Chain A
């Protein structure tokens, strides 16, 4: 299975990096104001917002190829959580759009959001 491309430093993210969690709980509210809550999923899904700057042309090309090869948000890949090193085997890109800007030589910047898939 494909893996999210690492930078030449072997890191996958730069500061500031954001990690999020998403539960899917349901709430039924009754006429008397009381409510009943239940889980509608097996657990939280993770989300990582990766903002990258000062990339060289090779790193930009690798990220561009990765986005194209994955057909945006369609394909799945393994992602290593940069916080704890845990590998999440079933992840996708969150968006069908990628913005790659070359501000100067060896000064590329882009941002990708990775989401964990259920199942």
Chain B
């Protein structure tokens, strides 16, 4: 499927980024102010307005090529929230979105904190697989601490990165470039045999570095998003400098 292009910096957007949510609720309002409400979850609409400035020739060309490939509003594409955490249920490691190996026990600790213990004799991991665009740069980050110093591995795509976890909370991050042909990417944490660790704040972002942790439920991957307009204006502001605004819409029922 068509995917929205990342900039040369690895970011998907520039500030300011505007995100707009629209729901639909049917309300029958009585004279005394009481109301009967009916939700329409399928009517949810999410819109982003991405304003670009200082784009290079190559970045502007990538956006123009993407616009032509999408044929304006005609074709859907995969879009990842440029200001969101892409993981689903990032703070609920016992949710079905996460896959824990059989000998890894996952128990809730302090609010938001999860105790992970490998009771097996081989490395065990907890992972989440996302249907993400290939060819992107992604950053996995997580806060870890351990009563006894230990080594763990951050997992992202086919790669892994070893980290030394101590008794103080520390945020670790691992940035990977995913192969262009990849249709799904797996992120997670692997513990060696007998190890235990406290973890919180799992986050995956489509950019080279980690930003402040954002807890999620639904995640930030939007399949079949569309451009909101059949028109695109690219303005050359200087040599190798372009500006543009791209509006993207995701509608549940399309």
Partner of A57, one of B35, B211, B218: B211
In the complex, the 7 A-B pairs of residues with the closest C-beta atoms, listed nearest first: A72-B23, A61-B214, A118-B34, A74-B39, A96-B23, A57-B212, A41-B32
**Supplied contacts A26-B31, A73-B23, A101-B19, 14 more A-B pairs, CB within 8 Å:** A22-B33, A41-B32, A45-B33, A58-B212, A58-B213, A58-B214, A64-B21, A72-B21, A98-B20, A99-B20, A103-B16, A104-B15, A107-B15, A119-B34
Q: Are A72 and B16 in contact (CB under 8 A)?
A: no
Partner of B211, one of A62, A74, A105: A105
Residue in B closest to A41 when the chains form the complex, CB atoms: B32
B97 to chain A, nearest CB (A): 15
Q: Are B16 and A74 in contact (CB under 8 A)?
A: no
Partner of B16, one of A45, A61, A102: A102
Residue in B closest to A67 when the chains form the complex, CB atoms: B21
Given known pairs A40-B32, A104-B15, the reply for A57 and B214 (CB within 8 Å) is yes
Q: Is A117 an interface residue (CB 8 A)?
A: yes
B171 to chain A, nearest CB (A): 13
Q: Are A68 and B21 in contact (CB under 8 A)?
A: yes
Q: Is B227 an interface residue (CB 8 A)?
A: no
Q: Is A3 an interface residue (CB 8 A)?
A: no
B220 to chain A, nearest CB (A): 10
Q: Which residues of chain A in 76-110 are interfacial with respect to chain B, using CB atoms and an 8 Å cutoff?
A: 92, 96-107
Q: Which of B19, B35, B44 has the most CB of A within 10 A?
A: B19
Q: Are B215 and A74 in contact (CB under 8 A)?
A: no
Q: Is B216 an interface residue (CB 8 A)?
A: yes
Partner of B37, one of A73, A97, A106: A73
Q: Is A49 an interface residue (CB 8 A)?
A: no
Q: How far is the CA of A72 from the CA of B39 in the complex (A)?
A: 9
Residue in A closest to B214 when the chains form the complex, CB atoms: A61
B142 to chain A, nearest CB (A): 15
Q: Which of A67, A73, A107 has the most CB of B within 10 A?
A: A73
A92 to chain B, nearest CB (A): 8
